Amino acid sequence: MLLIAAGIGVLAVIVSLLLGPKKPSRAKLMPYESGNDPAGGDARQRFPVHFYLVAMLFIVFDIETAFFYPIAVAYQKLGTFAFWETVSFVALVLVGYFYVLKKGVLEWA
Amino acid sequence: MVSTNSYIILSGLLFAIGMFGVLTRRTAVMVFLSVELMLNAANLSLVAFARAWGDLTAQTAVFIVMTLAAAEVAIGLAIIVTIFRKRETTNVDALAAMKG
Amino acid sequence: MNGLVLPDVPLAPMLPILLTLLGAIAATVLGFFLPRRAVAIIALVSLGLSAVSMGTLWNKGQTAFNGSLQADNAAIALGIVLLIGSALAILVSLDTAGRARLNFPEFDAILMFAVTGTLVIAFSGDLVTMLIGLEVMSLSGYVLATLQDSRESEESGLKYFLLGATGSAILIYGIALVYGATGSLNFAGIATASSGLQVLNSPLLVAGALMLLCGFGFKVALAPFHQWTPDVYGGAPTVVSLFLSTVVKVGAFAGMLRVFGGALHNAPNWLGVLAVLTAATLVVGNLAALFQTNFKRLLAYSAVAQTGFLALTLLGTQQVGGPALAYYLLIYTLTTAAALAVVAALQRSEAGLEISDMRGLYYRHPGYAVALAICLASLAGLPPFAGFMAKYMAFQAAFQNGFAWVAVVAALSSIAAFIYYMRVAALMFMPDRTPAREYPGARPALTFSVALGVVSITVLGILPNLAYAWVAFPGIWTQLAGT
Amino acid sequence: MPAWLYELIIVVLKGVGVAFALLTTFAYMTLVERRLLARMQIRIGPNRVGFNGLLQPLADAVKSIFKEDLNITMSDKLVYTLAPLIAITCALATFGGLPAGPPNSFFGANPWVYSLDVGVLVLLALTSMGVYGIFLGGWASGSKYPLLGGLRSAAQIISYELGMGLSLLGLLMLVGSTSFRAIVGWQGDHGWLILFQALGFVTFFVSSFAETNRTPFDLPEAEQELVAGYLTEYTAIKWALFQMAEYVNMITASALMSTLFFGGYKGPQFLNALIPGISEWPFIWLILKIAVFLFIFIWARATLPRLRYDQLMRFGWKLLFPLALANTMFTAFYLAYLKGWGLWPLGVAGVLGVAALIAGSDRVRPLWNKPGVRVLDDQTKPIGGD
Amino acid sequence: MIHFFIFLPMLASLLLLATPVRWREEVAGFAAAATLGLGLYIWLGGGAALVSVPWIQALGVTYSVALDGVSLLLGLVTALMTFVAIIYTARRIPNPGTMLSLILAMETGLLGIYAARDFVLFYVFFEDALIPALLMLAIYGKTHRMAALIKFGAYTLLGSMLMLVSIIGVKALGGSPTFALADLAAHPVTGAAQTWLYLGFLAAMAVKLPLFPLHAWLPDFHEQNHDSGVADVMGTLYKVGAYGLFRFGMTLFPDASLELRPVLMSLAAFTAIYAAWIAFRQPDWKRLLAYAGLSHMGLVALGIFSLEPTAMTGAIYLLAFQNVYTGALFLAAGMLQERVGSLSTRVGGVMTQAPVLAGVTMSLWFASIAVPGLAGFIGEFSVLLGAYQIYPWLAFIAGLSTIAAAIYALSAYQTTYWQVRPSGGVKVFDLQHTEWLVLGVPLAVCVVFGVYSAPALGLIQPVVRALLGGGA
């Protein structure tokens, strides 16, 4: 399926490469900044640190979710034991969540 | 059905590549990536062995290792970003506030 | 999957760990509401409770999770050492963390998490548990090293992180190989499997054992994996260096004891390699320390050298090496903690003290000077201080297991050690008229911890039995892998 | 012809079929959307090309193929080209895992391209892969608006990924399997999961809006702030591919919701009384349900205003995440202790939960809807700078 | 009783830290006197029998002490000289508190060394005496003391660390249950292993003897120490290598010591003559005394290594009494320095102004160069006599050193005390109050035991006989 999907995409691009006109000009190829000349050099400078933070949070919490899945699937076989497991697990996660909350990582603007 | 050996060889290769990266690369991020590569090599061989021995304990280990990798990513990136935002470079050699 | 067998989870064996964990969580959450001092006290209390719970577990030999967690006497003996070290670290931090501009509440929280990790190592009954503990410990360690907002601290953090992560990666690969060779992650399982191993798997086992050795080498700073040590111990805030060089190292050694003294005890070849690494560590650490001008860095290198002495005990047989390691770790923790505490007390900047600045310390701060001198004497292994007994046991362990040459190397290298320790000690007693260069101000908790350390190393030096009699039963140390 | 080759060919055929079906749907989605929006805004919308503008999509396609494909100077060529491909690949590949009917109901073949026991996981994995396309696209353009757009959408998508993943947990606990067929089968036996997982559904619903960058979460291409977000520097076919990806994701999300919460390919049982076995007919039911959800998507776009970025983040982290977690925990509790009572407590609880949420919406609003920070010296900022 | 004898000084030195400054001298003097008294009392009681209690069972370390003849004699000398040193310190050093407590602490270490009958315990005391010595040098030393410190410490540690290893080895290879001397002797190590272990042990003892290649620390140590020879007295007392060899070496490594006898004896003889030779051109009293002591030690070593009863007896005798007169000479040098402000051997004409000081110094020197009728003679003579029966040539060479001694001592003495001082002027006062005691007592001892040596010999001989009878 992946191959097919990718194939379609590639195909489309190639076709347009073959068929599309090529009339480059400086103005066209200039990064778009509402028509002004690009200000302040390279765009790929440091981003706001917030984005890093969110990324890290995501990693951590996503792993937590990943841990959840096996428990969830096997849950009914495990019974109450699993429930308390889950509770303690979530409790720990919430500690981290609380910390993040207090640190104001989730406060934007 | 692929034989266990080939898995092990592959993981060995991955590990070797990672090791090489750690030894040769100079930017923190690349070293870091190499380490992650090594971790995944370990995972691969763990899973392969688990299949060879036909028990699941090693797969739990794999889970742990994945978490660990994630945690390392989080902390490592945090440290690297902190340093990078203070000075432009993350070149390990350039970090010489203390004589090695 | 052979059905779903529920693991047995008795609370008792986990209690010491859970208590410290609670302390950590409390520090994390309450840190936002309470003043720092209160949080630190809470942490101390949780440490104390955990120690008490360990006391109740003594000689019970309980296990949890089908043996993945074993609260045997070895675990408890090491656990007590860990708790003592952590308590000292917190006490010292009470007076110095503010000056070091350490972030709060992160410091206490992460420190407690690290302690939890080390306890998990000490109590571990299989490789996965050990790995979890080890990583919790190391990751917290990386953060601790970076906590201070200064160039040195951050760099030391990065170096620590990169090398430590590499070490973990190697270690994990080693675990994978050992598992591949023995088909078990449980220490006992590995022990039984590795004793009677068919030819096919033994190369795997050897490779795995060696990789584990490398990994642990990174964690405990055996040469040639020690390069991070001076930079990290020298660059991190002194309190953190104290914590890293005592508790974290003890934790790592607990892991080594579990893995090599227990699981891989019958595995071939690693002993010889360890012997070589140990000798290298002793030589490198001691010689490098000779040329330091900063006292903190000197202590860092001496920590490397001490690692070598500690590793000597692992060369011994379980019956001799185990108790020696436990005793040495205890003494090492007390001594190093006290010495670094003095540094933390007197330093003006986190860079620690320059050796030249210590001239005449005896006439400015007689108490601290004498304490430091005693610590140095103990580190150098001079009787009647406890360091001598510890060192003696280490030598004996190595010697009796047929590593006389390592013992001799250790003996010769410890002359260098003696020289650099004595240079500092002598300087402190040389009269000097220049004005004081130390940080003035009251530091009750720190002074208390220093006194505690010094008194106990003196007493334990004269009456080693107070501590040694507890761990001296060979029975404790032959069961490391669990049953 | 050996069996495996036959198998392979069948699979490939199905794959291609699904892909083209999706693309066609996408094409006509654009038309439908524009028409519907026009209707809702009391306009007419495109009706020139072909009868009622039925050929409009075709025209668009042709145009986007024949347009000049810019490759701007600052861009990182390779990534710049790769990004849309990644996006579209993930989008398309996701769909094949969804069963469109009972086994062997599709002319003797299974009405799905691939079926894994861990279907849900794979699906989540692929959808979260999609973020790479967007972020890389924004980054590779080497221009400021796209960069910001890419960052924003990346942050947004990963944030809502959490809500999405967590909101499914309760469901999985109930069913005890991650394979779609098992889930659908379970619903066949016990009734639609929307009844028992109302809260989970709501959270999933919202987060799938965010995942697909649809209004009110279409921050990445917020015209007022960042021109066209990560799309700014894209033209012609690459631009089209991104669009494609977005719409296909939308379709997939709809399919997902209908499969997970609305009985999937099974039709309502009572209809069997009229026409025996109609509830087992492949495709139709699924397509119907998908259509409904697509309509809702468009409807929402026409109705709701766009969130501010900080609101968006707060909403995801402070409201969605805890809700999903709460739902999970409740389900866990139920399964551990109240299982004996039958399923109705879950249903009640879910309804109550949603009701409480609606009722308390004013209470929870402060969680996410702080008034935006108004900097007093706004004038000092450069005109148009944000 | 014996325990008091050993630990009283340590207690006193701890007590000193607590006592007010005014009383420190008195407390210290009293403690030293009490120790000496205890020692004499024990002597009257005919020594102290072996006391042995386990210290660290798990390791087989015991606390076992005894005072037989040899130990008792050396212990007494130590106590005596410590007493003398303390008296002089109290008079000479401005604020003596620290010094006094260091001296007392060191005395405990030395007494422990002589009393210890357990190998580990011996090691503990051996190192224990090191710390105060280092501190004395560090606190009261001269400008270049750091180098001296490092030399001293490094040499000592080099020895003692190797000794530690061989201690471990003796038990491990011999398979003895404890480290008590008796047990170790009961489970001897045999063959090449014994030689290796002996070498390890020898390293430590050779440093402390000191024996030729390992003597380099000695001169610097003495030169850099405080001008009043107090620290040097303690340093002299600290030369316990000969005793260690006598007590442990002969008992535990009989074969090895027999095997290495020629080498060691020649080394010892060489040390004696070489040191005497160096002593010639020392312009500084302390260095001169250092080398003189070294030369004597060469003789002692010769006696010990010869494994011949007469020689060994003489060696112990010499060891004991050279402590007395060399120590006293160091103090005399200190007094000289106090008066003329330098330790140079070229200041002339002291005799004219301080006849008593000159006279006492003179007679002490006579003791040192083995003039018959003084304690030195008996020792040196019997050493040479015994050694002659083993290796005549070595005995002859060593014998030369005594002649050499006469020469260097007298020449230095002459240039210091008799010659007209080139630059006259400085008023030099003679011995005054306690100084009489300080130099008088040692001189008296030397005279007494030079004339009537029976009591000392009576203490030494049985032990030596028992040792050689049981050991070699």
The pLDDT tens digits for D202-232 are: 888 888 888 887 777 777 666 656 666 677 6
Q: Are E77 and E84 in contact (CB under 8 A)?
A: no
Highest mean pLDDT among C19-28, D4-13, D55-64, D100-109: C19-28
**CATH (one of 3.90.1310.10, 1.20.58.1610, 3.30.70.2470, 3.40.50.970) for A2-103:** 1.20.58.1610
How far apart are the CA of C347 and the nearest CA of chain B, in angstroms?
A: 18
Residue B62 lies in a domain: yes
Can you give the pLDDT at residue D382?
Answer: 45
In the predicted model, what is the mean pLDDT of residues A16-20? 60
DSSP classification of residue D178: -
Q: For chains D and E, tell me whether 3 or more CB atom pairs sit within 8 A of each other.
A: no
CA distance E434 to E420: 28
Tell me whether D74 touches chain A (CB under 8 Å).
yes
Q: For chains B and E, tell me whether 3 or more CB atom pairs sit within 8 A of each other.
A: no
Can you give the pLDDT at residue C8?
Answer: 67
CA distance D99 to C225: 54
Give the distance, in angstroms, between the CA of residue A53 and the centroid of all CA atoms in the same chain. 12
Whether A99 sits inside 8 A of C4 (CB atoms) is no
Q: Among residues C296, C316, C336, which one has the least CA distance to residue C410?
A: C316
Rounded to the nearest 10 degrees, the angle between the axes of helix C228-235 and helix C151-182 is 140
- For chain C, the chains sharing at least 3 beta-carbon pairs closer than 8 angstroms are A, B, E
Domain chopping of chain A, boundaries? 2-103
Can you give the pLDDT at residue E207?
Answer: 87
Residue C153 lies in a domain: yes
Query: Which structural domain range is residue E337 located in?
Result: 263-472
CA closest to D241 among chain A residues: A9
Burial D90-127 (b: 16+ CB within 10 A, else e): bbbbbbbbbbbbbeebbeeebbbbebeeebbbbbbebb
- For chain E, the chains sharing at least 3 beta-carbon pairs closer than 8 angstroms are C
Q: Are B65 and A54 in contact (CB under 8 A)?
A: no
More confidently predicted of B7 and D106: B7
Whether A77 sits inside 8 A of C4 (CB atoms) is yes
Mutation for testing the C interface, residue in E3, E59, E156, E178 having most C CBs under 10 Å: E59
The helix (run of H) or strand (run of E) holding residue E67 is strand E61-67
Query: Which structural domain range is residue C425 located in?
Result: 12-478
Can you give the pLDDT at residue C1?
Answer: 38
Can you give the pLDDT at residue D220?
Answer: 65
CA closest to C7 among chain A residues: A81
How far apart are the CA of C29 and the nearest CA of chain A, in angstroms?
A: 7
Residue D102 lies in a domain: yes
Amino acid in position C474: P
The tokens describing E221, both together, are 């140590």
Whether B73 sits inside 8 A of A59 (CB atoms) is yes
In the predicted model, what is the mean pLDDT of residues D305-331? 83
Collect all residues of chain C within an 8 Å Cβ-Cβ radius of residue A81. 6, 9
Whether C231 sits inside 8 A of B56 (CB atoms) is no
Residue D259 lies in a domain: yes
Tell me whether C33 touches chain A (CB under 8 Å).
no
The pLDDT tens digits for D270-280 are: 777 777 777 67
Cα four-point dihedral sign C5, C8, C9, C14: negative
Residue C245 lies in a domain: yes
Mutation for testing the B interface, residue in C138, C139, C158, C160 having most B CBs under 10 Å: C158
Residues 43-62 of B with CB under 8 A from C: 43, 45-46, 48-50, 52-53, 55-58, 60-61
CA distance E316 to D124: 91
Q: Which spans in B3-54 are helix H? A: 4-24, 28-53
- For chain D, the chains sharing at least 3 beta-carbon pairs closer than 8 angstroms are A
Can you give the pLDDT at residue C2?
Answer: 43
Whether D65 sits inside 8 A of A16 (CB atoms) is yes
Listed in sequence order, the residues at least 6 apart from E55 whose beta carbon sits closer than 8 Å to its beta carbon are: C465, E61, E62, E63, E118, E121
Q: For chains A and B, tell me whether 3 or more CB atom pairs sit within 8 A of each other.
A: yes
Collect all residues of chain D within an 8 Å Cβ-Cβ radius of residue A77. 176
How far apart are the CA of D274 and the nearest CA of chain A, in angstroms?
A: 37
Domain count, chain C: 1
CA distance E64 to E179: 10
More confidently predicted of E73 and D378: E73
Q: Are E268 and E398 in contact (CB under 8 A)?
A: yes
CA closest to A23 among chain D residues: D68
CATH assignment of the domain containing B11: 1.10.287.3510
Classify burial at C228, counting beta carbons within 10 Å of its beta carbon; exposed 0-12, middle 13-18, buried 19 or more.
Answer: buried
Q: Please say if the pLDDT value at position D233 is more than 60.
A: yes
Least confident interval from A31-40, C13-22, C240-249, D202-211: A31-40
More confidently predicted of D351 and D4: D351
Residue B99 lies in a domain: no
Tell me whether D16 touches chain A (CB under 8 Å).
yes
Tell me whether E95 touches chain C (CB under 8 Å).
no
Backbone angles phi, psi at C244, to 5 degrees: -60, -45
Q: Please say if the pLDDT value at position A82 is more than 50.
A: yes
Residues 244-303 of D with CB under 8 A from A: none
DSSP classification of residue D45: -
Tell me whether B100 touches chain C (CB under 8 Å).
yes
CA distance D94 to D122: 8
Whether A5 sits inside 8 A of D384 (CB atoms) is no
Residue B94's alpha-carbon distances to B100, C89, C159, C161, in angstroms, are 11, 32, 12, 16
pLDDT category of residue A12 using cuts at 50, 70 and 90: low
Tell me whether C392 touches chain E (CB under 8 Å).
yes
Collect all residues of chain A within an 8 Å Cβ-Cβ radius of residue D141. 31, 43
Can you give the pLDDT at residue E472?
Answer: 40
The pLDDT tens digits for C119-157 are: 999 999 889 999 999 999 999 999 888 888 777 788 888
Our separate counts of H helices and E strands in chain C read: 21, 2
Domain count, chain B: 1
pLDDT category of residue D385 using cuts at 50, 70 and 90: very low
Can you give the pLDDT at residue A31?
Answer: 61
In the predicted model, what is the mean pLDDT of residues C438-450? 83
Q: Please say if the pLDDT value at position A25 is more than 80.
A: no
Residue E434 lies in a domain: yes
Whether A95 sits inside 8 A of C25 (CB atoms) is yes
Q: For chains B and D, tell me whether 3 or more CB atom pairs sit within 8 A of each other.
A: no
Q: Are C341 and C287 in contact (CB under 8 A)?
A: no
Whether C425 sits inside 8 A of E154 (CB atoms) is no
Tell me whether A74 touches chain B (CB under 8 Å).
no
pLDDT category of residue E172 using cuts at 50, 70 and 90: confident
Apex A60 CA angle, A56 and A61, nearest 5: 115
The pLDDT tens digits for A31-52 are: 665 555 655 555 555 566 777 7
The pLDDT tens digits for C145-193 are: 888 877 778 888 888 898 899 999 999 999 999 888 888 888 888 888 8
Collect all residues of chain E within an 8 Å Cβ-Cβ radius of residue C464. 56
Residue D30 lies in a domain: no
The pLDDT tens digits for E251-307 are: 888 888 888 888 888 888 888 888 888 888 888 888 888 888 888 888 888 888 888
Domain count, chain E: 1
- For chain B, the chains sharing at least 3 beta-carbon pairs closer than 8 angstroms are A, C
CA closest to C157 among chain B residues: B79
Q: For chains A and E, tell me whether 3 or more CB atom pairs sit within 8 A of each other.
A: no
Whether C168 sits inside 8 A of B72 (CB atoms) is yes
E56 closest CB neighbour out of C399, C427, C464? C464
Can you give the pLDDT at residue C452?
Answer: 92
DSSP classification of residue D117: T
pLDDT category of residue C250 using cuts at 50, 70 and 90: very high
Apex C64 CA angle, B62 and C5, nearest 5: 65
Q: Among residues D244, D155, D249, D266, which one has the least CA distance to residue D209?
A: D249
Q: Please say if the pLDDT value at position C34 is more than 60.
A: yes
C384 closest CB neighbour out of E124, E150, E172? E124
pLDDT category of residue B67 using cuts at 50, 70 and 90: confident
Collect all residues of chain B within an 8 Å Cβ-Cβ radius of residue A47. none
Q: Among residues C358, C398, C147, which one has the least CA distance to residue C278?
A: C398
Whether C4 sits inside 8 A of A78 (CB atoms) is yes
In the predicted model, what is the mean pLDDT of residues B15-20? 90
Classify burial at C163, counting beta carbons within 10 Å of its beta carbon; exposed 0-12, middle 13-18, buried 19 or more.
Answer: buried
Query: Which structural domain range is residue B19 located in?
Result: 4-94
CA closest to C461 among chain E residues: E124
Give the distance, in angstroms, between the CA of residue D361 and the centroid of all CA atoms in the same chain. 24
pLDDT category of residue C64 using cuts at 50, 70 and 90: confident
Residue D49 lies in a domain: no
Collect all residues of chain B within an 8 Å Cβ-Cβ radius of residue C300. none
Q: Among residues E45, E43, E73, E47, which one has the least CA distance to residue E379?
A: E73
The pLDDT tens digits for D138-188 are: 777 767 777 777 778 888 888 888 888 888 888 888 888 888 888 888 887
B64 closest CB neighbour out of C132, C155, C161? C132
The pLDDT tens digits for E81-131 are: 888 888 888 878 887 888 888 888 898 998 999 898 898 999 999 888 888
Q: For chains A and D, tell me whether 3 or more CB atom pairs sit within 8 A of each other.
A: yes
DSSP chain A: -HHHHHHHHHHHHHHHHHHS-----HHHHSPPSTTSPPPSS-S-SPPPHHHHHHHHHHHHHHHHHHHHHHHHHHHHHHTHHHHHHHHHHHHHHHHHHHHHHHHTTT---
Domain count, chain D: 1
Listed in sequence order, the residues at least 6 apart from D22 whose beta carbon sits closer than 8 Å to its beta carbon are: D92, D95, D248, D251
In the predicted model, what is the mean pLDDT of residues A79-95? 85
Tell me whether A59 touches chain B (CB under 8 Å).
yes
